[in-house]
Chain A
Amino acid sequence: MKKKSISKLLSGVLVAAMAVGLLAGCGGSSDSTATDTTAETTETTDTAAEDTTAADDTTAAETTDAASGDKVVINVTRTTFNLATPDSAQVQKVQDAVNAYIGDKINVEIKLTDIGSGEYTDKANLALANNEINLLWTASWESVIGTNDLVPQNAVYDLTDLLPGTDLYNSMDASQWEATKYNGKNYFIPVYKDNVEGYDIMARKDLADKYGWDMSSVKSLKDIEPMLEDAKSEGLKYPWLTQKTAMFYRLYINDFDFFTADAKANWVAVDKNTNEVVDTILTPQYKEFCTLMAEWAEKGYISEDDVTKTTTDTTTQTQDWAFSWWTDIPVNAEANSRYNQEVVMAPVTDRWAHSTSALGSCYCVTANSTPEQAQACIDFMGLLYTDSKLADLWTFGIEGEDFTYDENGQVAQTSEKYNHSMWESASATIVTPVAGEPADKASLYEAFNGGAKTSPAAGFRFDKTPVEAQFAACQNVFETYGFPLENGGFAAADIDATIEAYQAALDEAGYQDVLAEFQAQYDAWKAQ
């Protein structure tokens, strides 16, 4: 009988242990970004049956909890691309340093969450849906939480009325604010950097010197053909390296505004000459481009690896290639350090300001934040964009621990614990340049952005929710036809037939609905 009661006890203890464990788990959330101190309004999804109220339903009674004489607490979430995982102890230190610094200037306290880029979209998306975030970093090209995803799903706070007159607003040219509007409203706070798009053809300098290639005479793809022949004779595997990228979306921006901002959806765009939404697959430019790619593949200039996506990611750091492409930035010399060799650039497109060019890096306030919290975010960002000490702290970490200023007053960064770059932190005009960068970096950016043309479709925001299913299906068709076409995967003689098949497959996926929808949206936008 003793054994029986012991066994009974065991099972009972187990159950009890679990229950205790579940409760004890509460203690584990002591440093949670999940809102014990922020107003109850941000935890509206707590109880099962409760209807959550939309942001504009917050009453005066609820808001007093948030700013009860104390500081307004905002949860800030951002990501680092420079480290696999930031050190949370160091992030905590930076957070405290920031709070100490801003404490006497604005009535705000931040709780900082810094997540590695590999985890960012998953974690941030769920945290966002669970109302754990107030200020979030994102970008137009980010997957899942990109700017085009957040707006239609009501995830972001309308800042239009909060901005005018603030330090934040005045820290950047009004054109930046205009360029980042969605449907006439400001939702995003752009990070001022290279905010226009242009693309270059890039060549290895040592080969260019050896064969005497005149890069300044290169104005379009066709111009480098004779040079590719030289490269081939050199025995290189990748005379033209596409880097597993479909290039029509980039190299033809002089003719088209690819407003979908998605290479997989390059089958629709605004024709800049006629100012109409068109089916790009049926245009002469597309045929010309694909035929060229096919010919190059046949001549051995494009490797099969690019078509099958098996090109090694580090190929550009080797000597196996001759030509590739590059996104134009104010200091193109950065390419040399990135690729471990000297390269020369030749621009083949103009610089354009498109709808999402200025959204390459931005912050947003989440829709479930209270008005106090939204104001607090604006105040914080305003200080960040105008106070260089804060900006450096925010970007580089604690001085002496994460970075130091060298004799030129530039930043030397070595930290493995907290490491960010200007482009995803704060404006180029306020963050101190890193050692090796030109001291006048800020003015270089201004010159770069200033000389751009503005697309007729700049500011147009498309809403794909009415045709979401077909849109996704068409993106899938792109992978089967478009991608190989643009990487020389088909024979030159078959191009016409393949394009026909491509169009047919798109139509079967509902392309005509998508095209009609976007045409209607664009016409409506133009009429305003």
Chain B
Amino acid sequence: MSKKKGNSADLAPSRHEKKGFGQIVLGFFLLLYTLFCGLPIVLVFIAAFTDEKTITKNGFSFFPEKWSMAGFNAVLKYGKQLATSYGITIFITVFGTFLGLLVMAMFAYSISRKEFRLSKFLSVYLLIPMLFNGGQLSGYIVFTSYYHLKDSLWLLILPLCVSTMNVIILRTYIVNSIPSELMEAAKIDGAGEYRTFFQITLPLLKPSMAAVGFMMATAYWNDWQNALLYITTDSKKPLQLLLVNIQKSIEFLLNNSNVPAAARAAMGGNIPQYSATMATVVVVIAPIMVVYPFFQKYFVKGLTVGSVKG
């Protein structure tokens, strides 16, 4: 089963000639959209290093009058905690994504089997939690008092591990993009269900798993709600929670007119709100820009070419 990567050299020669005007126009629009996405990001980076007073006076600017590390320092103050939080977040993201992909892929595979009569029930079973939610209080009581999972990392991993949308996406992909002839062929060869799944379906599922994995990783990376409610030990607090806390406490101090002057004075007067918030964003997105290309290689066309022929 040879895998052919989509390569312009392999395609018909006419494609080469068409690499011209159309591509330039396409490239232009893509570039435009990239700028549209990218400019605010650049602004975030610049603002993180801008002096707070300049921001208040002149607003955000790509060419600030004065630079300052005050915003970053407000975040780096929690340096040691930051490092631990990075570790926790990375661990949860990787572990949760892999666990979720495995578990959901298996589930999606089962319910994609048309001859399996329970699949209908399982599909409905899957859809209901997407619509109905018991609420924060109920979840809190169940997880802490019944399951005794308070302060456990499992509560950061499990809630995001299985999601209806992702399972449906995997199922749709299996049904539409993986030819059933392949699986029938394997059956004829005498392979059992597990073998069919792990050896035939799973490899072909890679693009979809990469997409779902990406979406899961995003969800894990961005999540702070679960940690807010359930985690009490500092060494288990994920990145976003720490950053949200920093943002919220600054905002709270500055905005809440009920908090007496003494409390604000205790923060030392100089509270760099904007630059600190931007600094927290930089801390969050820097690793993403490094890691994402890893996912991209799965979106290459032709990954599955040849599998039918093989």
Cβ distance A35 to chain B, nearest Cβ, rounded Å: 9
Q: CB distance B148 to A122 under 8 Å?
A: no
Determine which residue in B140, B147, B249 has the highest number of CB atoms from chain A within 10 A of its CB, and name it: B249
Q: Is B233 an interface residue (CB 8 A)?
A: yes
Q: Is A54 an interface residue (CB 8 A)?
A: no
Cβ distance B88 to chain A, nearest Cβ, rounded Å: 14
Count residues of B near A (Cβ-Cβ below 8 Å): 69
Q: CB distance B262 to A422 under 8 Å?
A: yes
Q: CB distance A312 to B274 under 8 Å?
A: yes
Q: CB distance B234 to A88 under 8 Å?
A: yes
Interface-lining segment among B29-37, B164-172, B177-185, B263-271 = B263-271
Alpha-carbon separation in the docked complex, A244 to B55 (Å): 18
Alpha-carbon separation in the docked complex, A218 to B247 (Å): 38
* Interfacial residues of chain B within 39-65, with CB under 8 A of chain A in the complex: 52-53, 55-57
A7: which of B148, B194, B257, B258 is its contact (CB, 8 Å)? Answer: B194
Q: Is B112 an interface residue (CB 8 A)?
A: no
Q: Which residues of B contact A165 (CB under 8 A)?
A: none
* Interfacial residues of chain A within 320-342, with CB under 8 A of chain B in the complex: 320, 327, 329, 334-335, 337-340
Q: Is B106 an interface residue (CB 8 A)?
A: yes
B141: which of A11, A45, A318 is its contact (CB, 8 Å)? Answer: A45
Chain B, 206-235, contact with A by CB distance < 8 Å: what is the 0/1 string?
000000000000000000000011001110
Q: Which residues of B contact A312 (CB under 8 A)?
A: 55-56, 273-274
Q: Which residues of B contact A337 (CB under 8 A)?
A: 265, 269
Q: Which residues of B contact A421 (CB under 8 A)?
A: 260, 262-263, 266
Q: Which residues of A contact B270 (CB under 8 A)?
A: 317, 340
Q: CB distance A334 to B265 under 8 Å?
A: yes
Cβ distance A124 to chain B, nearest Cβ, rounded Å: 11
Q: Is A523 an interface residue (CB 8 A)?
A: no
At the interface, is chain B mostly helix, strand, loop or mixed? helix
Cβ distance B104 to chain A, nearest Cβ, rounded Å: 12
Q: CB distance B257 to A245 under 8 Å?
A: yes
Q: CB distance A3 to B199 under 8 Å?
A: yes
* Interfacial residues of chain A within 123-156, with CB under 8 A of chain B in the complex: 123, 126, 129-130, 132, 139, 141
Q: Which residues of A contact B273 (CB under 8 A)?
A: 312-314
Taking CB as reference atom, which chain B residue is nearest A5?
A: B194
Q: CB distance A29 to B151 under 8 Å?
A: yes
Q: CB distance B232 to A113 under 8 Å?
A: yes
Q: CB distance B137 to A129 under 8 Å?
A: yes
Q: Is A521 an interface residue (CB 8 A)?
A: no
Q: CB distance B102 to A14 under 8 Å?
A: yes
Q: CB distance B264 to A338 under 8 Å?
A: yes
Q: Is A413 an interface residue (CB 8 A)?
A: yes
Q: Is A116 an interface residue (CB 8 A)?
A: yes
Q: Is B300 an interface residue (CB 8 A)?
A: no
Alpha-carbon separation in the docked complex, A84 to B280 (Å): 13
Q: Is B136 an interface residue (CB 8 A)?
A: yes
Taking CB as reference atom, which chain A residue is nearest B262?
A: A421
Taking CB as reference atom, which chain B residue is nearest A361?
A: B260
Alpha-carbon separation in the docked complex, A134 to B265 (Å): 31
Cβ distance A225 to chain B, nearest Cβ, rounded Å: 24
Q: CB distance B265 to A33 under 8 Å?
A: no
| A28 with B150, Cβ < 8 A, contacts A84-B246, A116-B245, A423-B260 known | yes
Cβ distance A357 to chain B, nearest Cβ, rounded Å: 12
Q: Which residues of B contact A81 (CB under 8 A)?
A: 249, 252-253, 259, 263, 266
Cβ distance B189 to chain A, nearest Cβ, rounded Å: 13
Alpha-carbon separation in the docked complex, A132 to B140 (Å): 12
Q: Which residues of A contact B252 (CB under 8 A)?
A: 81, 117-118
Cβ distance B97 to chain A, nearest Cβ, rounded Å: 15
Chain B, 139-172, contact with A by CB distance < 8 Å: what is the 0/1 string?
0110011111111111100000000000000000
Q: Which residues of B contact A29 (CB under 8 A)?
A: 144, 148-152
Q: Is B72 an interface residue (CB 8 A)?
A: no
* Ranked 5 nearest A-B pairs via Cβ: A118-B248, A7-B194, A313-B254, A28-B152, A25-B152
Q: Which residues of A contact B (CB under 8 A)?
A: 1, 3-4, 7-8, 11, 14, 21-22, 25-26, 28-29, 31-34, 43, 45-46, 81-85, 87-89, 113, 116-119, 122-123, 126, 129-130, 132, 139, 141, 193-194, 243-245, 312-315, 317-318, 320, 327, 329, 334-335, 337-340, 360, 413, 416, 419, 421-424
Please name 21 pairs of A and B residues whose Cβ atoms are closer than 8 Å in the assembled complex, sorted by A: A4-B192, A25-B149, A28-B149, A28-B150, A34-B144, A81-B259, A84-B246, A84-B248, A84-B249, A126-B136, A130-B144, A312-B55, A313-B251, A317-B53, A318-B53, A327-B260, A338-B264, A340-B269, A360-B258, A421-B260, A423-B262
